[in-house]
Amino acid sequence: MSQEAAVERWTFGESPLPETVELAAAVRDLMATALAVEQPSDELRAAVAQVVEANRRLAGQLPADPRVRVGPDAGPERRVYLDHSRDVGEYNACFPRYELHAHDDRAEGSVEFPIVYEGPPGIVHGGFLALFFDCVLQQLNCDLGVAGKTRTLALRYRRPVPILTALDVVARRSFVENRIESSGELLLDGTVMCEVEMSAVRGERAALPTWSPRRPA
Residue 212 lies in a domain: no
Q: State the pTM of this model.
A: 0.91
Number of domains the chain is built from: 1
pLDDT of residue 217: 76
CA 135 remoteness from chain centre? 5
173 backbone dihedrals φ, ψ, rounded to 5°: -145, 155
pLDDT of residue 112: 98
Q: What is the chain's percent helix, strand, coil content, to nearest 5?
A: 30, 30, 40
The CATH number linked to 141 is 3.10.129.10
CA 92 remoteness from chain centre? 7
Q: What is the DSSP letter of 177?
A: T
Report how far residue 13's alpha carbon sits from residue 214's, in angstroms, rounded to the nearest whole number.
9
pLDDT of residue 6: 56
10-residue averages of pLDDT along the chain (217 residues): 59 95 97 96 97 96 93 90 95 96 94 97 98 96 92 97 98 94 97 97 89 86
Residue 172 lies in a domain: yes
pLDDT of residue 4: 42
Largest Cα span, the chain:
60
Full 3-state SS string of 54-68: HHHHHHCCCCCEEEE
Report how far residue 136's alpha carbon sits from residue 109's, in angstroms, rounded to the nearest whole number.
9
Q: At what angle do helices 42-59 and 18-36 cross, to 10 degrees?
A: 150
Structural domain that includes position 62: 2-204
Q: How many CB atoms lie within 10 A of CB 70?
A: 18
Report how far residue 36's alpha carbon sits from residue 156's, in angstroms, rounded to the nearest whole number.
30
Residue 214 lies in a domain: no
Residue 215 lies in a domain: no
Residue 209 lies in a domain: no
Residue 23 lies in a domain: yes
Report how far residue 172's alpha carbon sits from residue 135's, in angstroms, rounded to the nearest whole number.
13
Residue 72 lies in a domain: yes
